[in-house]
Amino acid sequence: MSKVAVHAAQPRAGGSAPSTRPGTDPATRRPYDRWKRLLDVVGALLVLTVGAPLFAAVALLVLVTHGRPVLFRHTRPGLYGELFDVVKFRTMRHPDPDRGLVTDAQRLTRVGRWLRASSLDELPEFWNVLRGEMSVVGPRPHLVRYLDLYDAEQARRHEVRPGITGLAQVRGRNALNWTAKFASDVEYVDRRSFLLDLRILLATVRVVLSREGISAPGAATWHEFTGNDQPPAPSAAADRDAAPRR
C-alpha cells in the first residue's frame, strides 16, 4: 500500500508553512465550518469557566498522586498536519526502571485509570479548543510519527481540526482497530454537520458513563499503528516518545 506524508511540521518559530495543505480546495469547505468554530469557542469558554472547580479538584488529585507536573503535554498533528501541543492531566508515573515503572501498564496508576475511564484527563484539551488547535468534535489527534504511515485516504483525517471526541470514539474508542478508526475519521470529514456533531456529543455521554473501549484488547492503552492492516504486537508504551514528560 503506497504511503503519502501529510506536510506536518510547521516549526514553532522561524519556519515556513507547509507547501501543500490538504483540504484547502474550496470544494472541501462547508458553511458549517465557520459556525462550528464559533460553537467551539463558546463551548470551550463555558466549560473552562463553569468547570473551573472541577479542573482545580482534578489538578489537586493528580498533584497528590502523581506529583509534578500536573499536566502532560505532547506534540500532535492537527489541521493540515500542523503541529501543536495537546494538553491533558497526567495519568502515569514518571518512568523509573529501578522501581519497575517502564511500560504503560506499570506506570498507569489507579487514579490514572479512573481519570481515563471518566475522560476527566481530557478536560485541559478545551484550552486547545479555545486556541483553535482542536475542535470539540473531530478525529482524535494521533502521534506525529504516524504521518508518514498514512495512505492518501487516511491522511484526509487532517482536513478538519482534531477533536476531543469523534465518530471513532463513540463507535468503540480504543477497542476499534486502526482500519475502523481511520474509516470513521474520514467518514466524519465527509459528513460533518451540526446534527452529526450533536449526535456524537450525546453518544459520548453514553460511552463515558458506560466506560466502553477505554483500552485496546491486550494493551494498557492502545496498540501501535504500524502502517498496515495486520494486528500489531501490543505496545509497551503507545506514547513512548513522550514518556519522560507524562
Query: What DSSP character marks residue 232?
Result: P
How wide is the angle at C-alpha 89 spanned by C-alphas 91 and 10, nearest 5°?
A: 115
In the block, residue with C-alpha cell 450525546: 202
For residue 89, give the 3-state DSSP assignment.
Answer: strand
pTM score of the predicted model: 0.77
| Model confidence at 7: pLDDT above 70 | no
| Assigned domain for 9 exists | no
Length of the chain: 246
The number of domains in the chain is 1
| Assigned domain for 144 exists | yes
Task: Convert the pLDDT of each residue in 120-175 to its tens digit.
Answer: 999 999 999 999 999 999 999 999 999 999 999 999 999 999 999 999 999 987 77
| Assigned domain for 10 exists | no
For residue 65, give the 3-state DSSP assignment.
Answer: helix
* Closest CA relative to residue 29, chosen from 135, 156, 159, 175: 159
The pLDDT of residue 76 is: 96
Q: Which domain range does residue 163 map to?
A: 29-220+233-245
| Assigned domain for 22 exists | no
Residue 194 host element (H or E):
helix 194-210
| Assigned domain for 6 exists | no
| Assigned domain for 115 exists | yes
| Assigned domain for 52 exists | yes
The pLDDT of residue 87 is: 96
